[in-house]
Structures are given as C-alpha cells and as structure tokens.
A and B are shown apart, each in its own frame.
Chain A
Amino acid sequence: MAVIDVKLPELGEDAGDEAVVSFWYVEVGEGVEEGDDLVQMLTDKATFDVPSPSPGRIVARLVDEDAKVKVGQVLCRLEVSD
C-alpha cells in the first residue's frame, strides 16, 4: 500500500491562489472510490469540490474547515493500492 498526497489544484485565481476549506465530505479512516468528493473549497468565484484521484482510504486530513489553502498545498493523504 502507498500513501499519496491530494493537493489543491489550479483554481483560476492569480498567483498566490488560495481557497477556503468549506467542509470535509470524508472522515479519517473512510474508504473512497475514484471521483468521490473529498472536500469542498470556496473562492470568491465559486464552490469547488475536490475529487479523489484514486480509490483508497483517507489516512489524514491536513487542513481544517475555514482554513485558507494555497494551490499545491496538501489537503489530505490517501492510502492506495500499489
């Protein structure tokens, strides 16, 4: 089993892009499928749902709700099959 980082991708804001964590859809220890919504992010222009890139299990949530997160910052860690 490997652990991968799920990062905040490009959002459409200027350099220094950031978004606010609106709420987590998943809990630590929860299993997810590829494409399942993990966390909802807020910017001035929209609400974004960040999907899981792979099937796996959430092993860590690294940002709290209401936290500001920059593009490229790790949101959570996902245990996946090798």
Chain B
Amino acid sequence: MAEQATTRGQRRFPPWLTKRLPAGGGGAAVARLLADLGLGTVCAGAHCPNLPECYARGTATFLILGPTCTRACRFCAIASDPALRSSAPLRSTSRRPEPLREDEPEAVAEACARLHLRHIVITSVTRDDLADGGAGHFARTIRAVRARLAEAVIEVLTPDFQGAAAALDAVLDAGPDIFNHNVETVPRLYAEVRPQADYRRSLDVIAYAHRRACRGVALAGRTGTGGPRLYTKSGLMVGLGETADEVRAVLRDLREAGCDILTIGQYLAPSASHRPIARFVEPPEFAAWESEAKGMGFAAVAAGPFVRSSYRAESVFQSRSAESS
C-alpha cells in the first residue's frame, strides 16, 4: 500500500501507523533535562514517532559526537554534510566540523543517573572526519556512564568506523553490554539509500564484535576480569523497495555474522525530500518476520511498524532466549 493522499492534500497513514500520545504530555520533563544538559537524542534528531511514548516513560536514546553527520543516508532526518568527510574536498560553503564536546560523556552519565536508567542506549552520527571516527569519545562515554551506574545495561549503536579494527576495539574495550550496528536495508538498495556505507563492511563490523564476544576477551568492564557476555544487535527497515527474499538473505547474513538481536521496523520518510515510502508493511507480515527470524536462531527479535533500533530496548533484551548459536 503506497501513501494515501486525501482530497485535502494531507498524507494519511494506514490505521496501524497511529500512535496514541501519552495523556498529559509526560515527556516534557525528559525534554527539559536533556535541554538543561545540552544533550541531543536520536529520538528528536531523527523525528522518531516513538519519542512522546519513550520520553513519557522517562527514557531516551542519546546522540553523541555532535548534531551533524558526515554521511547522507536517504532515510535519515539527522542533519548531514557529506563534505565533512575526511576524504571529500571542503566546499567554500561547507561548515567546519564541529569539535567534540569534551564534557559530553559526563553529561550523558549525569542524564542517565537523573533518569535512573537501567538500560542505556547511546548512538551517534558518523564522524568520518575524525581520525578514530569518534570511537575514543564513545569509549569515554561508556566508561562515564559505567562509573555512575555500575549495574546498568549499556547498549551502543555505532557507525561502521569505516571498518577500522582499532576503533572497534576502543569501543568494545570500554565494556558495553550490547554492540549494535544497523545494516538498515538490503544490499541492492545501498547505493540509493546508504551511498557512503558498504553492506559487507557493516556485516564485518558485527562479525568482529561477535568474534570478540566468542573469544571471551576480558573487556574493561565492571570486574576487569572478564565481565558479562557481549551481545550483538542489528536492524533494518522495510518499506524501502526491498523484496522478501532480499530481507531473508539479510537475516541469514546477520546470523552468519553472529548477530544475536534483530529489529525490523517500517521505513517512514522524514520529509518529502527523503526517499519515498515504497509500501506500508502490514502487522501480520512483521509478525511473520519475527517468527522466521526466531526460527533462524536470533536470541531476541522485535518486528513491527514502529519498531526502531532502540525502541523498548530493555524489554527486547530481557526477552532474549537461551544463548543464540
């Protein structure tokens, strides 16, 4: 089903893409806290329709490394300037890359403490202009949060760091509990949807984290002598123009890479200038994907129209079955 226009020219969505706003607007307190600490969230930056619900529940997904991305994925609302990539010549109209905010790790930790978060998700823009892609900053943020909330589950949703092992090691050495990197879509659509990324490289990033988990490398975690098992996670959107066989192939690739946790959600265009929605996927189809993915061996799967990488991340993680093979 394609987008429906009305006689008044307003887009309408199918009935299952209606969200009830929390009565009383309970998310204002979270929004104020984030503003007071000068923190961004992917919730706001990416125009996530779940924001009212998540903020009202007292949670958010932190967006670090600044507000501007050095890539230009066609599905994403976050401000981007690909000219900021280290390999691209700067145009006279390009803005200089924003310096990293040095106290951002501590500000994130402060927000987590004030919100009494038990499951924390930290994501970022892609910073190809930085020598380490921002990996060191990610690591400092993980450690700052761990220092304040020793028992919390820390989930990081990272860029690909251009596949650099040193950058991945920097993040993994900081001891996150869940390493998430989204493949976002099927390989055929990468050139159109995710032009500066590489499907195989994204799979390799997940596989690298999985190998680290399997080797039982002593992460610099709570005890310093080993710490809990690291889980890997990835997600993709449907409704971009992919076929069912292509989605199935991605799921197989993710399992082969050792991905433990999977999310599948409906692509929603942030604006008319982003990639159009190819179709609205109906809830029974999401349920079928969830069932099929669990049959493939994913430890936890969340699939639904409003599912996003970190939507209800805590409950998705807690729903995991026995160790995925």
Contacts and interface: CB of A to CB of B under 8 A. Distances in A.
B269 A44 contact: yes
B47 A9 contact: no
Given A9-B28, A12-B44, A45 B21 contact: no
A41 to B, nearest CB: 8
Interface string B1-43: 0000000101111000111111111011001000000000001
A50 B13 CA distance: 16
Given A42-B11, A46-B13, A12 B18 contact: no
Contacts, number: 90
Contact of A48 (B11, B20, B43): B20
B52 interface: yes
A8 B40 CA distance: 21
A2 to B, nearest CB: 15
Contacts of A48: 18-21, 49, 52
Categorize the interface residue count of chain B.
20 to 34
Nearest to B272: A44
Tell me the interface secondary structure of chain A in the complex.
Answer: loop
25 contacts: A9-B22, A9-B27, A10-B52, A11-B52, A12-B51, A13-B47, A22-B10, A35-B23, A37-B20, A42-B10, A42-B13, A45-B48, A45-B270, A46-B13, A46-B19, A46-B306, A47-B12, A48-B19, A48-B21, A49-B18, A49-B19, A51-B21, A53-B23, A65-B8, A66-B10
Interface of B: 8, 10-13, 17-25, 27-28, 31, 43-45, 47-52, 55, 268-272, 306
